[in-house]
Amino acid sequence: MRVGMGYDVHKLAEGRKLVLGGVEIPYEKGLLGHSDADVLVHAVMDALLGAAALGDIGKHFPDTDERYKGISSIILLEYVAELLDKEGYIIENIDATIVAQRPKMRPFIEQMEKNMAEALKIETEQINVKATTEEGLGFTGTGEGISAQAVCALEKYTNYGSYDVAEMRKCAGCSGCAKENPA
């Protein structure tokens, strides 16, 4: 098993949309950045890339590359999923925390989990997103920015013993869950 952690922070600014976990959240400010500045997805990507020893988002999506200007971070997350698959990794779980004084995140968390699970082609039960404040302390507490942290666990396909690697990429009806064999 391989474990990774990710962290990201962006400044709040007027005239930008606030996007977290691929969800546009109504708010008077948005996050400033080269892409959509989705700190949650950025932290998740860095955790996944780190666990697989594939660098970080700056290596794969540099802010000097115009192809990524204004891009949805969910699209970038899909690319990270493809990298992990190519390297033979399975995502076991992801746990992430958004740190923001405002706005309240609870109404949007379920959709954030769904968006990231779809991008990664995993079950929503494999992703947990939480939100907290810093009780008015620090740059997030004063409303200057929002940060996010994420941890993940990955496993190599090859560590699953006698399972057919091709079958691991889709549900094969193993005894590990309640799904029926789709074949």
Cβ–Cβ < 8 Å for 172, 180: no
From residue 180, give the alpha-carbon distance in Å to each of 106, 161, 173, 176.
33, 21, 5, 11
Cβ–Cβ < 8 Å for 53, 85: no
Residue 182 marked as a ligand binder: no
Residue 64 marked as a ligand binder: yes
Residue 36 marked as a ligand binder: no
Residue 108 marked as a ligand binder: no
Residue 95 marked as a ligand binder: no
Residue 56 marked as a ligand binder: yes
At 130, is the secondary structure helix, strand, or coil? strand
Residue 57 marked as a ligand binder: yes
- How many angstroms separate the most distant Cα atoms in the chain? 54
Residue 10 marked as a ligand binder: yes
Type of residue at 100? A
Residue 38 marked as a ligand binder: no
Residue 14 marked as a ligand binder: no
Residue 135 marked as a ligand binder: yes
Tokens of 95: 């746990």
Residue 134 marked as a ligand binder: yes
Type of residue at 125? E
Residue 139 marked as a ligand binder: yes
- Residues annotated in a binding site: 8-10, 34-35, 42, 56-58, 61-65, 132-135, 139
- Residues annotated in a binding site for a divalent metal cation: 8, 10, 42
